[in-house]
Chains A and B, each alone.
Chain A
């Protein structure tokens, strides 16, 4: 948490310069990745990288409420799934020329579908958040889970849109004449979205709004005493977080060209939380690192043994029990020791 608001003096200038240099290097590597992967002859790597970037957007969004606001939402998969379904449903109506609920025409334009997905998830997040935030603690965890389960069963029941089997998209959205079916193209779209989002997260973490949220997590009573009403700030954070997760879901629908109720399952909500914790709660880059580590680990372990969930579970236990602060804290511990 310390590295969010500190490092503003003269001496840390150098370290923040270093940090930006590191970010630029990583960004350059990410930009070059399709060619690197092509040279290495593994096209699956690009798909994995695309998924990591998209999940990082979702985990980063969850981090806003979970890490900074201290609101343990166990239902963020609902926003991910709703975002995905908005894209798929718009595509479905575009394909057969019908109207959604007899009113809204479909579309296959990415530049329309994504904003609509974000808007719709923001509305859902506002509704769910407005109700859920009236509780706290364990009850908040359970009520967010409850709303996500309701959404899960609702989409399972919509036979028009595939019901339990999910909804296939014949082709991905159109975007500036590019072919999103090509993996590198989709990868660059995801990279662009992720870069924008993480720039947004960075600005967010340096805003006074973030400071207020941080304060509300640490001591809501004192914040109330200086005249800040917790509810409104928390709700706004929840809506932003839901909208970001919805964007991730909308992108994922384009990658997979498929949405199913599994995108809203509580298992996925748990995975988002794991990514945030694994990387480091409340840090800027933690969610990206967490998403990368979890997905790469799953991928590698899956190739190694069919019993990979066992190893993953044990690793998670070690991380949760032994390394508070996640991998970000671990690396800063290690580098801190090296500096001494």
Chain B
């Protein structure tokens, strides 16, 4: 029972990370109509920049603004130089151009930081565990990630629904042309949305740094899962990204934790491990295929 609860929290933590990435991606998808494969690169840039600054200054907290700033800056540069030219192109060209961006970003990171994976420490004040239930100790740092993710989700909800810029973003996702016709500078709005997505990706990257190795290619690993979240939740829908992110995060973690164990009851250990891992990895893609077949526009499609 303790184990199940622990995996549930792990899943929640993973789901929150997925949401941070998917929220930006779905905004860019929904408003700008862009399939951005390079979103994982922003996650990677945030992690590398933050961890580097943290290592130089010796302070985890100085790394955080550095990660956000680096991701935002990269996002703005990418938007101005590449994405802006892709608005009127078809999906095929967007996929290819952003695929090329992945190659460029990965190699630039290799040139600047090298191929060695980097490891980030958890600040002393955040190490240790909290006893949530009798006998259930859970790492404080992971709880903080969950809390930060929830805060961002709440903040994003208020931002989208209560501010003027948020109103424009909602309007833009419903009818781009009409917003332009009403005299809103749509290009600045696009740049702002892209930067917002980049900041959230950078935040996710930096938060994840102490849990995973920071290395080239870390972006692609989580990118595909993020796309699954976006599509399952409904393209352009932040609410969908939140629900799908949490749900898929928990399902994915649970399958990885329990499928190999279940298989071990019917076959030998080594085969069960391999097959179980494989089946668990297939899980979210299977869910996506099923959702798309039943509801082609996702679970909670954006209105309009």
Q: Are B99 and A310 in contact (CB under 8 A)?
A: no
B296 and A316 within 8 A (CB): no
Binding stretch for chain A, among B178-186, B238-246, B271-279 = B271-279
Most buried by A among B92, B110, B286: B92
Q: Are B227 and A139 in contact (CB under 8 A)?
A: no
Pairwise interchain contact B29-A146, C-beta atoms closer than 8 A: no
Query: Is A154's CB under 8 angstroms from B296's CB?
Result: no
CB–CB A153/B278 < 8 A: yes
Inter-subunit contact A141/B103 (CB<8 Å): no
Least CB distance, B301 to chain A, in whole angstroms: 11
Q: Are B288 and A146 in contact (CB under 8 A)?
A: yes
Instruction: Report the Cα distance A66→B95, complex, angstroms.
Output: 13
Interface flag for A72 (CB, 8 Å)? yes
CB-based contact A159/B270 at 8 Å: yes
Interchain CB contact under 8 A, A320 and B282: no
In the complex, B79 has a CB within 8 A of chain A: no
> Which residue of A143, A163, A273, A309 contacts B96 across the interface (Cβ within 8 Å)?
A273
Chain B residue at minimal CB-CB distance from A261: B278
The residue from B99, B231, B270, B288 contacting A274, defined by CB atoms under 8 A apart: B99
Q: Are B103 and A316 in contact (CB under 8 A)?
A: yes
Q: With A270-B99, A273-B95, A312-B103 in contact, do A163 and B274 touch (Cβ < 8 Å)?
A: yes
Complex CA distance for A137 and B108, rounded to whole angstroms: 32
B211: chain A residues at CB < 8 Å are none
Complex alpha-carbon distance, A139 and B271, angstroms: 34
Q: What residues on A are CB-neighbors of B92 within 8 Å? A: 66, 72, 273, 277, 281
> Which residues of the partner chain B approach A158 to less than 8 Å between Cβ atoms?
274-275, 278
Chain A residue nearest in CB terms to B93? A320
Assembly CA distance A131 to B290 (angstroms):
10
Contact size range, A: 35 or more
Q: Is B71 an interface residue (CB 8 A)?
A: no
Taking a contact as CB atoms under 8 Å apart, the answer to whether B274 and A149 are in contact is no
Asked if residues B107 and A307 are in contact (CB atoms below 8 Å), the reply is yes
Closest partner residue, chain A, to B86 (CB atom): A321
Give Cα A19–Cα B185 distance, bound, in whole angstroms.
Answer: 50
Let me know if A157 and B274 touch, CB within 8 A.
yes
Cβ contact within 8 Å between A313 and B93: no
A154 to B278, CA, bound (A): 6
CB neighbours (8 Å) of B96 from chain A are: 270, 273-274, 277, 316, 320
Within 8 A of A (CB), among B26-68: 29, 35
B275 engages A317 (CB within 8 Å): no
B282, A317: Cβ atoms under 8 Å? Answer: no
**Is the Cβ of A143 less than 8 Å from the Cβ of B289?**
yes
For B297, the chain A residues whose CB sits under 8 A away are 139
In the complex, are the beta carbons of A74 and B282 less than 8 A apart? no
Chain A residues with CB below 8 A from B277, complex form: 156-157
The answer, yes or no, to whether B266 is at the interface (CB within 8 Å) is no
Known contacts A307-B111, A320-B96, A313 near B293 by CB under 8 Å: no
Residues 209 to 254 of chain B near chain A (Cβ within 8 Å): 224, 227-228, 231, 235
Check A141/B35 contact, CB under 8 A, given A150-B286, A274-B96, A320-B93.
yes
Measured between alpha carbons, how far is A215 from B274 in the docked complex, in Å? 46
Set of chain B residues within 8 Å of A277, measured between Cβ atoms? 92-93, 96
Given A66-B92, A72-B95, A321-B97, the answer on whether A313 and B103 have CB atoms closer than 8 Å is: yes
* A88 CB to nearest chain B CB (Å): 18
Q: How near does chain A come to B53, taking the closest CB pair, in angstroms?
A: 24
B82 at the interface (CB under 8 A from A): yes
Question: B259-299: which residues lie under 8 A (CB-CB) from chain A?
Answer: 270-271, 274-279, 281-282, 285-286, 288-289, 292-293, 296-297
| CB of A106, distance to nearest CB on chain B (Å) | 21
28 pairs from A and B in contact (CB 8 Å cutoff): A131-B289, A134-B296, A138-B29, A138-B91, A138-B231, A142-B228, A143-B288, A145-B227, A147-B289, A150-B285, A153-B281, A154-B282, A156-B274, A156-B281, A159-B270, A159-B274, A164-B274, A273-B92, A273-B95, A274-B99, A277-B92, A310-B103, A310-B104, A312-B100, A313-B104, A316-B100, A317-B82, A324-B93
9 A-B pairs besides A72-B92, A74-B95, A149-B282 with CB distance below 8 A are: A131-B293, A135-B292, A136-B296, A138-B35, A150-B289, A153-B281, A159-B270, A312-B103, A321-B85
A: residues with CB less than 8 A from B are 66, 72, 74, 131, 134-139, 141-143, 145-147, 149-150, 153-154, 156-159, 163-164, 266, 270, 273-274, 277, 281, 307, 309-310, 312-314, 316-317, 320-321, 324
- In the A-B complex, the 9 residue pairs with the smallest Cβ-Cβ separation, listed nearest first, are A157-B278, A313-B103, A310-B107, A316-B100, A313-B104, A146-B285, A153-B281, A309-B103, A313-B100
